[in-house]
Amino acid sequence: MRSKPNSMSLQSSWCYWASIAAILLCGGCRSRVEKDWETASIRGSVTVDGKPLEDGTIRFVPTGVTLGPKTTFEIHAGAFQADAEHGPSVGNHRIEIEYADDQQLAFDDEQALAELKGKRMKRGAYPILPAIYNTQSRLTATVEAEMEPLEFSLRSK
């Protein structure tokens, strides 16, 4: 007479094979995330009404088929730069440029601006950049592996 399989042994067997599968699958796991896109070093300048933008940020937002995350870099004395490891992905990007006022707030940070107003504090003396350079940016750039410095000449009005 044949005995019925023990449900305990079936569970043990299932756990055994699930453990083996997990070990095999994790054997292919990478200790470091590899990018599916190429990044490039960049450098450039930003002027407003012909004068260097003292402090601010420039953001590269991939568009179309360009892979990779958006990347943000600081602007100091009208200049920005990034090495290839931290640079934007190669391809087409929408560019957003913002500046920080005396309180180190981005121009389009409406919540922070409301808090300043509530505290009866005034904004800094930096020129106001139109939305076409930040929240509604029309600026674009194509990032290539080897490229010349980028130049952005903005107008405050």
131: number of Cβ within 10 Å: 13
Mapped onto helix, strand or coil, the DSSP state of residue 73 is strand
Query: Does residue 113 surpass a pLDDT of 50?
Result: yes
Q: What's the pLDDT at 119?
A: 61
Distance CA 16, CA 26 (A): 15
- To the question of pTM greater than 0.85 for the whole model, the response is no
Q: What is the mean pLDDT of residues 106-111?
A: 63
Rounded (5°) CA angle 54-55-57: 135
**Start-to-end Cα distance in the chain:** 94
CB 58 within 8 A of CB 99: no
What is the number of residues in the chain? 157
Q: 27 falls in which pLDDT band (50, 70, 90)?
A: low
Q: What's the pLDDT at 135?
A: 85
Locate 123 and state its tokens: 């904004």
Distance CA 96, CA 135 (A): 7
Mapped onto helix, strand or coil, the DSSP state of residue 86 is coil
Supply the DSSP symbol for 14: H
Rounded (5°) CA angle 50-146-152: 15
More confident residue, 123 or 141: 141
Mapped onto helix, strand or coil, the DSSP state of residue 9 is helix
Phi/psi for 22 (5° steps) reads -65, -40
Least confident of 33-37, 50-54, 109-113, 128-132: 109-113
Query: Does residue 2 surpass a pLDDT of 60?
Result: no
Q: What's the pLDDT at 112?
A: 66
What is the pLDDT of the chain when averaged over all its residues? 80
Least confident of 27-31, 87-91, 132-136, 146-150: 27-31
More confident residue, 16 or 7: 16
